[in-house]
Structures are given as C-alpha cells and as structure tokens.
Amino acid sequence: MAKGQKKQKQTPEVIAKLEYVFSIDGTIREACFYADIGESTYYDWVKNDKKLLERFERLREKPVLKARREVVEGLKGNPEFSLKYLERKRKKEFSLRTEHTGSEGSSLFGEFLDNISKDKDK
C-alpha cells in the first residue's frame, strides 16, 4: 500500500459495482475504475476470498450466455442464419470446404519441391 493511502473497505456497494461491470464482461481495470478502488485492492480481496473471485468469474460468462440465447432464438424462421450457425458449429458436416491443390489436382507440396529443385539446377 502506498504511503499515505488508506485501506479501502469492502462494502456491499463496492461489491455491487464490481459485480455489475463483470456482468457486462468488463475488465478488472474497468471494474476497479467504476467501483473507485485500486487494482491492488481488488487483487488483495480476491486472493483472500476465493468465493468472491469465483463469483466475479462466473458473472463474466453472463453476456456469452445471453448472446448464445439470442443466436439460438434467431434461428427460427431464418434458414440462411441457421445454415451459417451450422457451418460454424458443425464444421465437419456443414462447413464450406476449399481444397488447395497443384495443377491437375497434384499435391502442392510436391509441386513446390519440384520448383525448388528446378531453381537449384539453374
């Protein structure tokens, strides 16, 4: 703690502010700024209270779950979006594939090595 700096108290109001920022997937720096505490204070608190750290980490998942729900709910009546979702979620089955081959379907690697050999011979 810096000289002349008083220890910041862990009040319900400060915790609520931290929880709010984490619930919108804010960074630790943003949460500390919003709650008006130093980052070192935050790290001291979570080092000494693993349940608090776990709570903050879980809150940061909230926007991801909300976005996932929006995506899934948006699938209904939207076949183009549904296909786009499947292309990303089940790539092996639905993804558009691009194959890169050399001339007449030959291996690019083999063609590359042949070109290197030809350049050396020059």
42 lies in the same domain as 82: no
Distance from C-alpha of 105 to C-alpha of 103, rounded to nearest angstrom: 5
Structural domain harbouring 76: 63-94
| Per-residue pLDDT tens over the stretch 87-118 | 988 988 888 877 777 777 777 676 667 677 77
The residue type found at 27 is T
Instruction: Note the pLDDT of residue 1.
Output: 45
Asked whether residue 43 is assigned to any structural domain, the reply reads yes
| Per-residue pLDDT tens over the stretch 40-90 | 999 999 999 999 999 999 999 999 999 999 999 999 999 999 999 999 889
Number of compact structural domains in the chain: 2
Packing angle, helices 50-59 and 12-23, rounded to 10: 40
> How many Cα neighbours within 13 Å face the side chain of 36?
4
